[in-house]
Structure 1
């Protein structure tokens, strides 16, 4: 039935009962189906990891989240002056060199990156979270009409989410003129992320030292990375031997560090989105207002705005109003 209605030659409109059934089945307001066409994102423009292992439903949900993210960005851009985009095109560059160039151009020096999401937003990347329907996806990014987007899984540890953000920045910088998919492409983005977060000259001083897993757990705080990421990076730089690497991996696995962190850092969130929502709230515009104007379910909107779980009861959704005090002074 849906297929027939979507055909261009179809001139009949679904009956009210049918539209109501679509709305209930998809949990979308009926008005959504009569709104302007959604500006879709092409699958091959998105940096999906392990594309072969992804279910079609997971991929479609992620693409849908990307399209809604574009809608939200347009909503904000129509009401506020967007941050200028400062993401160089370094397609084909060596990942370590690209990371070094970014650190130089963005005046990062060799210090640890304080907040990856804030860094991305400061340079014009539109960063959104992933909602309940897409939490099986680690992260993804794409360019759309000259604007860079990054979507992050908010259920991962703070360290892994930072690495994901750096990884997606690698795609935006290194693969802008390429299809950002494939094993080699992913390895390049991983190398970029590792060198951006852990510059070579800050890791090499530990070369030749006998490092235990307890040492790694202390050292990882220098760069705000996971224990596993630090072990891998040290091995790739030759800071630790193959024997040390295997020993550390075994010890880390016993402690469950392949999926979790000990004494982990808080997850980063979007300060920019918080400021935008606070400014809108000062004008009497709530998240419910935004969802109504875009004809979207409120949980779809909150899920992308780092507010996952804020509205869990649909009956209370209409009562949802942000209580964040306005903090944005220039709009």
Structure 2
């Protein structure tokens, strides 16, 4: 590895005076965050920059500070301006132990760390927007320990009428929960799955692209994470029992047992479940499980229904519906907040400059735009 600063610049280039100033105010946590968001290990970044992996580790630990020339190369390789690495801006540290990851065993450590780094940045984005727009207050009922009671309490607290729970994600945002798309590949997000955290100043639910082609799976994932926010605020994440409780919460929230039992009736026909599932906004496979939970069918009958369901899917007779066709299920709180700010002379470019992010990165974190909660200027 090369540590000679003269080898860190293009021929004829001179150190940037701005980088020389930034090195005195260098924030180690910013380097870690930018590296994780970029999906790079310390060794990979070191190779690109021309220093040792130990040197990158020392930069991130605050043992040493990068020289101006090294800051320029870090900026170029990580895609953030040099000023991004300056201390003094609001920052909320988070690690994987602060989030409810469903697939801890199948998720790579680096992928979890990258996802958490994105969450840190969404917190910063939310904090920045709150200076200009009054976001909805967080409005969740008190924490409960029993999933069924918690789901019923939430429906009552939010005054959800009997019947299907329409516009789940939009309703979450209206009540102050930030929802976001995780801006990673579909393959990577399939290993991570949706996750959530209540350890920041505002609860946050992360939804993943692997569910975007099936609105029913997407809705159940959102309801599952909402369950974690209500049931497991003060519990260390990672317990499989917590995942079962969050599933039970989601099932009751989306298909309250007394109402869905009455809708299905005593004679459970597979064809009827498809229509009922569309009406309630849940997957047919979820309804098969629900009929067994409610004692409407035997284990053997449920197994036959699962087999028939798999045959219908394999034959292409059951096609998933993408979430893009359901605006009420698309995260939109932050894009709505920015849109309102833009109406009052605060542009996306100004927001990017305030965050010290490149504009394309801000656009990526804002994600898709859908129906929006009502907001007002501060």
Q: TM-score, normalised by structure 2?
A: 0.75
Cα distance, 1:159 vs. partner?
Answer: 1.2
- Which of the residues 171, 179, 199 maps onto 1:119? 171
Q: 1:215 to 1:62 in 2, by over 3 A?
A: same
Q: How does 1:128-277 map to 2 (within 5 A)?
A: 128-132=180-184, 135-136=189-190, 137-156=192-211, 157-205=214-262, 206-212=264-270, 214-256=271-313, 262=319, 264=321, 266-267=325-326, 268-277=329-338
CA distance in 2, matches of 1:260, 1:61: 37
Q: 1:272 to 1:6 in 2, by over 3 A?
A: closer
Would the aligned equivalents of 1:203 and 1:234 in 2 still touch at CA under 8 Å?
Answer: no
- Which of the residues 159, 167, 171 maps onto 1:107? 159
Q: 1:175 to 1:209 in 2, by over 3 A?
A: same
Match of 2:355 in 1: 294
Cα distance, 1:172 vs. partner?
Answer: 0.4
Q: Number of aligned residue pairs: give it.
A: 310
Cα distance, 1:260 vs. partner?
Answer: 11
CA distance in 2, matches of 1:173, 1:260: 37
Would the aligned equivalents of 2:134 and 2:375 in 1 still touch at CA under 8 Å?
Answer: no
- Which of the residues 97, 115, 122 maps onto 2:149? 97
For residue 178 of structure 1, give the secondary structure of its aligned residue in structure 2: coil
Would the aligned equivalents of 2:227 and 2:249 in 1 still touch at CA under 8 Å?
Answer: yes
Q: 1:241 to 1:328 in 2, by over 3 A?
A: closer
Cα distance, 1:142 vs. partner?
Answer: 0.8
Would the aligned equivalents of 1:131 and 1:304 in 2 still touch at CA under 8 Å?
Answer: yes
Q: TM-score, normalised by structure 1?
A: 0.85
CA distance in 2, matches of 1:204, 1:328: 35
CA distance in 1, matches of 2:367, 2:155: 27
In terms of mean alpha carbon deviation, does 106-115 or 67-76 score higher? 106-115
Match of 1:318 in 2: none
Would the aligned equivalents of 2:151 and 2:249 in 1 still touch at CA under 8 Å?
Answer: yes
Match of 1:62 in 2: 115
**Alpha-carbon deviations, 1:193-227, whole Å to 9, x = none?**
01000000122122431412x32221101211112
For residue 119 of structure 2, give the secondary structure of its aligned residue in structure 1: helix
Cα distance, 1:35 vs. partner?
Answer: 4.2
Q: 1:226 to 1:104 in 2, by over 3 A?
A: same
Where do 5+ consecutive residues of structure 1 fail to align? 309-323
For residue 305 of structure 2, give the secondary structure of its aligned residue in structure 1: helix
For residue 52 of structure 1, give the secondary structure of its aligned residue in structure 2: coil
In terms of mean alpha carbon deviation, does 101-110 or 192-201 score higher? 101-110
Where do 5+ consecutive residues of structure 2 fail to align? 1-54
For residue 51 of structure 1, give the secondary structure of its aligned residue in structure 2: coil
Cα distance, 1:123 vs. partner?
Answer: 1.5
Q: CA RMSD in A?
A: 2.6
